[in-house]
């Protein structure tokens, strides 16, 4: 059977760990030529080596997604290595949670930069090259926090909600050019990132609270998001654009 992403060039930002790494491994298994980007070179190389060892065609390119000039450089390097991207997964992002009364406005600006501006720059750059090729698929990694408010999440929620509606507008613009844009909304996906954001004790408490409220009584793993990303990246979803796909154990429906 033909692999589902055979021959496609897939770029995944923030692909060096967590959800991004899970998506990269799945895309590589499905025959894509994968580029993972991120700031941490050591982790990037380790991820690429690990996926290559499993038979994947993958490269790591260092990238700061908030640096616009860097986007051009990354696209140029991807073009030289694999050819122009068919799929961009805007997965890089950050999450800082705090009560609004204690939240510095510059941290809000940082959230907007990481979660909206980076997505904007990537989408714009990808739409330019995809339009020239007759189409492509862009997948923006939002969050259930972009659909529903949560305690300590004013800045993160605003940034992910912004990304969500940005995606819909981009989908409307991309439609005549054959470019699809969708957002994916994971619930709590367990990984190092959660502990980095909340500390060990905070993360454990948060996990317990979320699991209790989640119909499936579980947290997700990066692989649980990889499946939907492969679907949205592939031609199987040729008629899906401007949509939100929620993969959250049922959390949003409660």
Partner 1 sequence: MARVAGKVVLLTRAADRVVQACAQALIDEGAHVALADTDASKADQAAATLTGAGDGIISLGKEEATDEGWLQALAAIETRFGGVDVLVNGPPQILVKSIADMTLEDLRALEETNVVEPWLGLKHGIPALRKRGGGSIINLSLTLARDGAANMSGNCATAAGSRVMSQAAALECGEQSDGVRVNSILLDHDASVPEEVAAAVVYLASDESRFMTAGEIALDGAGAAK
Active-site annotation holder among 60, 120, 156, 251:
156
Q: Which is nearer to partner 1, 96 or 211 (CB)?
A: 211
Distances (CA, A) of 27 to 3, 7, 13, 133, 248: 10, 11, 13, 21, 21
Minimum distance between the CB of residue 32 and partner 1, rounded to whole angstroms?
Answer: 16
CA–CA separation, 80 and 88 (whole Å): 16
Comparing CB distances to partner 1, the nearer of 204 and 238 is 238
The pair of structure tokens assigned to 100 is: 């609004």
Instruction: For the CB of residue 34, give the shortest distance to partner 1 in the complex, in Å.
Output: 18
Which residues of the chain form contacts with partner 1 (CB under 8 A)?
A: 1, 168, 171-172, 174-175, 180-181, 187, 214-218, 220-221, 223-228, 231, 234, 236-243, 245-250, 252-254
Pairwise CA distance, residues 9 & 240, whole Å: 19
Phi, psi of 31 (to 5 degrees): 90, 5
**How far lies 206's CA from each of 90, 112, 125, 147, 169, in Å?**
25, 23, 36, 19, 33
Longest dimension (CA), the chain: 56
Q: Which is nearer to partner 1, 151 or 212 (CB)?
A: 212
Q: How far is the CB of 133 from partner 1 (least distance, A)?
A: 19
Check if 156 is active-site: yes
Q: How far is the CB of 54 from partner 1 (least distance, A)?
A: 13
Report the residue number, 191 or 242, with the smaller CB distance to partner 1. 242
Q: Which residues have a catalytic role annotated?
A: 156
């Amino acid at each position: 059977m033909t692999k589902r992403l055979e021959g496609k060039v897939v770029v995944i930002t923030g692909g060096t760990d967590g959800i991004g790494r899970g998506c990269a491994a799945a895309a590589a298994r499905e025959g894509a030529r994968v580029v993972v980007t991120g700031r941490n070179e050591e982790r990037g190389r380790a991820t690429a080596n690990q996926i290559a060892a499993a038979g994947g065609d993958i490269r790591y390119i260092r990238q700061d997604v908030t640096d616009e000039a860097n986007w051009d450089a990354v696209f140029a390097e991807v073009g030289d290595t694999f050819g122009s991207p068919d799929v961009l997964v805007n997965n890089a992002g950050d999450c800082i949670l705090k009560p609004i009364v204690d939240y510095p406005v510059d941290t809000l600006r940082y959230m907007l930069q990481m979660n909206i501006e980076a997505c904007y720059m990537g989408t714009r750059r990808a739409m330019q090259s995809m339009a020239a090729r007759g189409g492509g698929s862009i997948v923006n990694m939002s969050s259930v926090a972009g659909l529903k408010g949560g305690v300590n999440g004013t800045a993160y929620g605003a940034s992910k909600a912004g990304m969500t509606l940005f995606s819909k507008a981009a989908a409307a613009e991309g439609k005549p050019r054959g470019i699809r844009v969708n957002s994916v909304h994971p619930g709590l996906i367990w990984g190092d990132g959660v502990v980095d954001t909340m500390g060990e004790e905070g993360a454990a408490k948060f996990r317990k609270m979320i699991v209790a409220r989640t119909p499936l009584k579980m947290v997700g793993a990066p692989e649980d998001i990889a499946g939907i990303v492969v679907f949205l990246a592939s031609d199987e979803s040729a008629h899906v654009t401007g949509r939100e796909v929620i993969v959250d154990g049922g959390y949003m429906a409660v």
